Every structure is written in structure tokens, then in C-alpha cells.
Amino acid sequence: MRATQLYAPTLRESPAEAELVSHKLMFRAGLIRKAAGGLYSYLPLGWRTMKKIMQIIREEMDFAGGQEIMMPIVQPAEIWQESGRWAVYGDEMMRLKDRHGREFALGPTHEEMITTLIRDEVRSYKQLPLMLYQIQNKYRDEIRPRFGLMRSREFVMKDLYSFDRDVDGMNISYRKMYDAYSRVFERCGLKFRAVEADNGAIGGGHSHEFTVLAPSGESSIAYCENCNFAASDEKAELKIIKSAPEDLKPLEKVKTPACHTIELVKNFLNVPIEKTIKAVAFMDDDERLILAFVRGDHEVNEIKVLNSVENANHLYMADEKLIKAANSCPGFMSPIGISDAIIVVDQTVMEMCNAVAGANEIDAHFINVTPKRDFDAEKIIISDIRMVQAGDPCPHCGKSLKMTRGIEVGQVFTLGKKYSAALNAKFLDEDGKEKVFEMGCYGIGVGRTMAAAIEQNNDADGIIWNKNIAPFEVVVVPVNAKDASQLEFAEKIYDELKIAGVDVLLDDRKERAGVKFKDCDLIGYPLRVTISPKTLESGNIEVKIRKTGEFLNFSRENCVSQIVELLKSL
RNA sequence: CGGGACAUAGUUCAGCUUGGUAGAACAUCUGCUUUGGGAGCAGAGGGGCGCAGGUUCAAAUCCUGUUGUCCCGACCA
């Protein structure tokens, strides 16, 4: 490819709306352009990288036993109604009607589509296991699209679905995908972690998120450097923290004027924050009051609270009226002496003794609270409901956990029978009985992977591509393309590199050297070969490594093989 | 959906307070010079100020509505 024929509009400035480095660089380097909120066009350079990532994904999916298919983006409402998700999915689903008024949706995901396809086609256990995937645009009408390709309304996704005859088979498929995903992200040159995750709305069994480590990421993860444990902050299971044994003192109510926050109470009573119990009030869709109690220095994990309360779908911050109706008052809530509320107490709170908690009346707290003695065990739910914090003990090995942020680029789920049962997808097993498929689903955000790669690998000058996903591996730059001898020489090198199988760009633009160098750095080709009067005279060529800034001189005779070797070593 | 901000040339932004009929830089085009890190000089094209009303002799500038965008929050593979 020649730069004079390449549509690669680079810019000196980035749009005001771009916040993330990756978003700015994708824009400036001419990879993408915005069409509307959360909708982007991929320009040639961006699309080249997208295609390379997709190719890596295809190779790994095929290697793991997957087969590529293509399903419609436009999906009939009926299958979504059948699975029950037509109503549940809500505004995030882009819906449309055809000329006859029939309802459709632009696929946000394809569990319904693939399950209805398979239930009509696969009748025997002999056809299993089956892994089918596609790479296609997905549509989610996000409440707030942002960060360029990180959270867009239309995005390219690889989605694979596995069908197995039993749970063991499903777990094998899951493991294959887990391994395949690790290889995909390794080949893309990303630093990532497979973290234990909450299944969220999709439901089913276990799940891992593949998270690229980056401080700007939207998800927060806890990980252990000692063992392999990593989990999203919402999911991370925590062990009980035992307190040192003390002589129990009798429960006592004390005045705490205007101490409606933990900070004020702890200062007023002069107790360490670890000796206080904090309350957070929620309500659910049925306006049931749910009070969650954690240690003063801990934070409530809303998801864990939700999971520990039966028949609750959503949690909202509670109305003050609701709290008062339960004979309590905001700022001084307590499990002791409250009526008509669901009480959820963190497991670590149950280990505390002689602690401070609210007294359910204005300007008063209890001291010497010992939950095991003072809480009504019949009426409370004891569970792990707190948010993980840096320094918490690792649930696997007990060492101190660290926190980091990351970008979720892929997720693997076991679904079990969730969709196959809802959509009545069955096959005939060896024993002659009809059984429901055990399913799994596995997604990779292709655009997000590209964005994450940039987010993780860039400097002040621009992008630093890994060779496997760079739009071009090598760029050949004649310093002055108006000089026929330089251009001619550059063309020769370019031809030879092409023949050697290198993905190479010739920057034959009649621009000044500075302009071309700036563009090379901005776009981030891994290697730059420079041809100049200097190199012509010496008979050498100059190679610059983008990542290190290092210059190498190769002799004319074997420069092509040396460049090929250098590329391999990157 | 709540809170905040913005909308003027391809891009980044100035001009609005104090209405008088739009400007800079970068980008683009032409010519000359220059050629190892976003060059210099000369010249040219390009917008009627998100949209719709209103006030006024006169509206990017004031008022009302509306749409879009961005940020924070809630929400969310």
C-alpha cells in the first residue's frame, strides 16, 4: 500500500469531547470518525486493525472447535417474547416495526436467535458438542454512550454459543473458550486478567471477565499477586474478619447530638472506625425497606445485598418516610428495636463486640453493641455484603489483595439451561430421553479490544501498536519523495519486504520529512525504515523501533531478512 | 432519568456581557522557496453562527421553545 493512495486523515488536534487517550488517538490518527452519539465509522487504518483482531479471533475460535456462521441483525419480537426478555430488556434494545407493523429488534445479543435455530436443527446427542460463532454488529441503546469505542451503541462483537449434552460437557466447552480467550488477548499484546465476575442479567452459572489493565478502565477489580485470584469488585467474595476477643460490656444508649454520619459519631465518642456499625437503607420495587449493615470502614456492595434478599429485583435508595415508618430515623438506624424491615448484616459485623451502632432515635447511639448477643438472629439475614477494598485478605490464599482498574474486553458465561429451557430446545440423548441443551455464551468486543490496546500502549507522540494488530507492520519512508533516487530505492525495499510477506506501507507522499515522521509516530507502526541521502551514501538503511525509539542500521544486502527477524522478536 | 455545561469554517476556538450583518489558528487549493521531526512567503476557496419562533429599523449576540453533544450521578456485556 502506498500512502498517496491511503485515506488516512491525521489531525493535530483532537475533538473537545474526547476524554480518553485511546479515543483522542483513534481520532487523531485517522482510525475512526463519529457519525452520531455512540456511532462510529471505521476508516482504513482503523478497519485494518479491526480485521487483524478479527482474524486472530477467528483462528483461535476455529482452533478451539468453533464454526463461523452469520445470523440476522434484525430479529423478530416473537423469539424475545418467548424467552421473556422482550419486556425485561427495556430501553436498551433498539426496536423497530416493518411496514406491516410487525415488531423487530436490532440484536443486542443472540441467545434467542441461536437457540431457536438449533432447536429446529439439532436432534441428536451425536451432533454435540457444538460451538457456533459470528462476528457482527451489535446494538445497545446505551443510556450514556461515551469514551469512543469503549461504550458505543453499535459495536462489533464476536459471540460464540456452545451446546452440550450435560454439565460436564458444558464445563469442557467453557474451559476451551477460557483458554482461547487467553490466547486471543495474548496475541493482541495486551496485559489482562481473567477475573471472576457476576453473571448479571444474563444469568446462569459461572463467569469470567477478561479485563485489560488500564487506570482509565470503567471496571474495578481486586487481584492477588500471590495466587491467581482476580475478581470484579462487585463479585469478590470476602472472608469473615475476626476481631480480637474482649470482655463483653452491657448494651447502653448514649446521646450523640447531630452525629448523623459515621465520621461524626466516631469523633464524638472517640472510638476507632472499626468499632462502628454503619447502615445503608434501600428499598425494592415493592417498597420494602431493606437495611444493610457493615462495619464503619467498609462499603456496602449493593449487588451482594440484592442477591441476599429473596424476591428483590432492583434496589433504590430508601425514602425517608419508609425509614420513619419502620420506627427508625435516617442517620441513626439500627437493627436493634426496628420493626418492619428486612435486615441484612455483613458477616464481619457479626464478629464485632462492644461496637457503636444507631439507636433508631434522633441524636442517640448504642454503645457496647455485640451483634451475636444483641441482634435478633431470627429476623436478620447474615451474609457477605461488603465491597472489597485494597488490603482485604485474598479469599484463596489469605494474602493482601490489591485493586486496579480495567477495561472489560471479553466475557465467558455458562448459561446452563436458562435459554434452552425457556425456548424448549431439546435433543434426544443416548438413553433415548429428550434432554435440554446445556449452553454457554462467550463474547469479545472487537472495537473495545482495539481501544484497550491503544489505552495500554501509547506515549506523548501517539499509538504504539503490537505488530500483530498494527494497521501496517512496517512503514518505508523516503525522507524526500521528490528525490527520484530516494523514491526508487524506497520502492525496491518496499517491494522486497512485500515479497517477504511483510505488511508494509510506502510513505511516498511529497511531504516534508517532519510531517511524515510525526504521522508515523502518531499512527504507531512498529517499525520505520528511513531512506535518505545519508543512508543512500552509506549503503545502509535505518530502522527505528517505535516502542523503544531505538535506531538500528542494517546493510542493504540483508536488510529485508533482518527486518523480518526484528519483527518476529518484537 | 436528575444535576451541570456547550452548540459559530473540515478541526480547535474567539466574537455574545454593551445587537449594526462574522474572525484566528490548523487543515484545503495555487505559485515560488525549503527538504531528517507537523517549514517560509504570496494568494485563493470555504461558514451566516444547531433548528423553530419572538422582540427590534437591525439578532451568533436578547427572550421562548426544541434538537443534538459532552461531563457528573443513577443504570449497564
Is the pLDDT assigned to residue A370 strictly greater than 60? Answer: yes
Q: What is the pLDDT of residue A96?
A: 87
Chain B: positions less than 7 Å from a protein CB are 1, 11-13, 26-27, 34-39, 68-77
Residue corresponding to grid cell 478502565: A217
Is the pLDDT assigned to residue A200 strictly greater than 60? Answer: no
d(CA A290, CA A309): 9
Is the pLDDT assigned to residue A543 strictly greater than 70? Answer: yes
* The three grid cell numbers given for residue A513, joined into one nine-digit string: 520529512
Global confidence as pTM: 0.86
Is the pLDDT assigned to residue A198 strictly greater than 70? Answer: no
For A510 and B34, how far is CA from C1' in angstroms? 13
* Contacts made by residues A12-21, CB under 8 angstroms, sequence distance 24+: A18/A148, A19/A146, A19/A147, A20/A147, A20/A148, A20/A150, A20/A216, A20/A451, A20/A455, A21/A216, A21/A454, A21/A455, A21/A458
* The three grid cell numbers given for residue A567, joined into one nine-digit string: 519483527
Task: Convert the pLDDT of each residue in A255-276 to its tens digit.
Answer: 988 888 888 888 899 999 999 9
* A36 CB neighbours strand B below 7 A: yes
* Candidate from A121-125, A145-149, A372-376, A505-509 with smallest mean pLDDT: A145-149
Confidence of residue A82 (pLDDT cuts 50, 70, 90): very high
Nucleotide with minimal C1' distance from the CA of A157 is B77
Q: What is the pLDDT of residue A199?
A: 59
d(CA A46, CA A34): 13
ipTM: 0.88
Q: What is the pLDDT of residue A110?
A: 95
Is the pLDDT assigned to residue A320 strictly greater than 80? Answer: no
For range A185-190, the mean pLDDT: 96
For range A111-137, the mean pLDDT: 95
Q: What is the pLDDT of residue A245?
A: 85
Is the pLDDT assigned to residue A204 strictly greater than 60? Answer: no
Task: Convert the pLDDT of each residue in A155-184 to its tens digit.
Answer: 999 999 999 999 999 999 999 999 999 999
Is the torsion defined by CA of A305, A310, A315, A317 positive or negative? negative
For range A195-213, the mean pLDDT: 74
* The three grid cell numbers given for residue A214, joined into one nine-digit string: 488500564
A462 or A18, higher pLDDT: A462
Average pLDDT of chain A is: 90
Closest CA to A444 of A130, A50, A76, A114: A50
Q: Classify A217 as helix, strand or coil.
A: coil
Domains and CATH numbers, chain A: 20-188+416-454 (3.30.930.10), 252-383 (3.90.960.10), 472-569 (3.40.50.800)
Is the pLDDT assigned to residue A309 strictly greater than 80? Answer: yes
Window 476-515 of chain A: CB closer than 7 A to strand B = 479-480, 482, 510, 512-515
* A471 CB neighbours strand B below 7 A: no
Residue corresponding to grid cell 545519508: A534
Task: Convert the pLDDT of each residue in A522-540 to its tens digit.
Answer: 999 999 999 999 999 998 9
d(CA A450, CA A46): 9
Nucleotide with minimal C1' distance from the CA of A11 is B11
